[in-house]
Structure 1
């Protein structure tokens, strides 16, 4: 399995965890009084975010991406739907 395919899978998982945290866990915390959902979803998202950054660095060095591309992909992890766009673009580039 290539680093790029691993990165794409991690990007999708990280994107899903971010959406879950924002649109399911946070409302459950504030509207249903269930703070543990945020605790565990936040923990899982944090692990996936760190994995995203580590595998991004691996892909950046292996595929010799320009720094701008790597930074843009890294910043994409901060926007809710951007990891899915990154996945699509990387699939098209490949």
Structure 2
């Protein structure tokens, strides 16, 4: 399950970066919200999947509160989820 989590964390990070640095600027600079609508739902689903998998792994791998906290905080930082795999090694 850890490999699935690493893949989801990478995809979630990519969707977050695209949303923040591509879709949102287009929305406000060109007055075109279509990219936010297109990328928002996949990002939301990946974020929920990331959190659910993190909770499952917390109990499966007996993560400490600190480890779970760091993994959780990395989910809200831009580029943070790209470091989850390295952190968990």
TM over 0.5: yes
- Offset of 1:89 from its aligned partner? 2.1
Distance in 2 (alpha carbons) for counterparts of 1:57 and 1:21: 25
Distance in 1 (alpha carbons) for counterparts of 2:45 and 2:4: 15
TM-score, structure 2 length as denominator?
0.94
What are structure 1's unaligned runs of at least 5 residues? none
Q: How many residues of Structure 1 are paired with residues of Structure 2 in the alignment?
A: 89
What are structure 2's unaligned runs of at least 5 residues? none
TM-score, structure 1 length as denominator?
0.89
Say what the alpha-carbon RMSD is for the aligned residues. 0.9
Tell me which stretches of 4 or more aligned residues in structure 1 moved more than 3 Å. Answer: none
Residues 1-94 of structure 1: pairs in structure 2 closer than 5 A: 3-90=1-88, 93=89
